Amino acid sequence: MSFVKKSKIGDYFSLVKINHTIFSLPFALIGFFLGINTHHQELSLRLLLLVLLCVLFARNAAMGFNRYVDREFDKKNPRTALREIPSDIITPNSALLFVIINSLLFIATSYLLNFMCFLLSPVALIVVLGYSLTKRFTYLSHLFLGLGLALAPIGAYLAVTARFDLLPLIYSFVVIFWVAGFDILYSLQDIEFDRLENLKSLPAKLGRTNALILSSIFHFIALLLVAVGGIIGSFHILYWIGAAIFAILLVYEHILVKPTDISCVNLAFATMNGMASVIFACFVISDLYLR
């Protein structure tokens, strides 16, 4: 058998759920434009492109690695049995090569940003790749996923400024609790499978009702941090409109998913959160430039 199998580009896009980039990309843009605005820099399309490529390469590596290390679990789980690796659309070796290539491209692109980003790029990879192993030993895996995506706003800010500041860190914490909250919802689909395979998810540990309560708490914390960011950043009306819409969509997400009915979990997980992040980012960035 050859080391890799020829697959269509679309197969790899499907492997990494390229459309789910919509969760982290808007917050990366918030970090980027926050850096540009607060440090009174000219907008550089080259820099913006490099930041977008870093987000893409890091996420490709993370999702590809997740599918690679979870391939045996995916094969057993009826919900995931038709994914690309269990279906032999993409071989494990091909997926691993895809991860390696994207990891190297991420490091190379970070080098083109600035020296600090380059130095921190291996740390970022450890975080985003390491998440895929956490479900084997800790119930905090949902927060680790949030941490991986939370690198987007602070990473984009570092790309512009090469320094840490409080406001982008606040948005990183927003992402941690926002992502952990909706990942708990998504994990409701696999409670029985996770228990059977001794995988550490909070829904498997707490049950549906308590998991939904914890998800709501995480989202409440995320919204509080959005408010803190608005106050510290001295934002104006557009920011608060975006924050209100973000809050409404999160509340609606929890209305859709009930302990006795999780049939709308994919709508809540993908559609509501995708809309929430894009709309919030549009209002935040507009507020920055219309002050």
The percent of residues above 90 in pLDDT, for the chain, comes to 87
* Cβ atoms of 234 and 250 closer than 8 Å: no
In percent, the amount of the chain with pLDDT more than 70 equals 98
Q: What is the pLDDT of residue 1?
A: 40
What is the arithmetic mean of pLDDT over 12-34?
A: 91
Asked whether 269 and 186 are in contact (CB, 8 A), the reply is yes
Question: 244 Cβ partners below 8 Å, 6+ apart?
Answer: none
Tokens in use for 135? 């479900």
pTM for the full model? 0.94
Name the pLDDT band for 2 (thresholds 50, 70, 90). very low
Q: What is the pLDDT of residue 4?
A: 52
pLDDT tens digit sequence for 181-213: 999 999 999 999 999 999 999 999 999 999 999
Residue 290: pLDDT band by 50, 70, 90 thresholds? confident
Euclidean distance between CA atoms 126 and 148, whole angstroms: 9
What pLDDT, on a 0 to 100 scale, did the predictor assign at position 8? 81
Q: Per residue in 246-266, pLDDT tens?
A: 999 999 999 999 999 999 998
| Tens-digit pLDDT profile for residues 159-187 | 999 999 999 999 999 999 999 999 999 99
**Domains annotated on the chain, with CATH:** 9-289 (1.10.357.140)
Radius of gyration of the chain (CA): 19
Mean pLDDT for the chain overall: 94
**In the prediction, which pLDDT does 21 show?**
82
**Residue 49, H or E segment:** helix 45-69
CB of 204 within 8 A of CB of 141?
A: no
- 3-class DSSP state for residue 207? coil
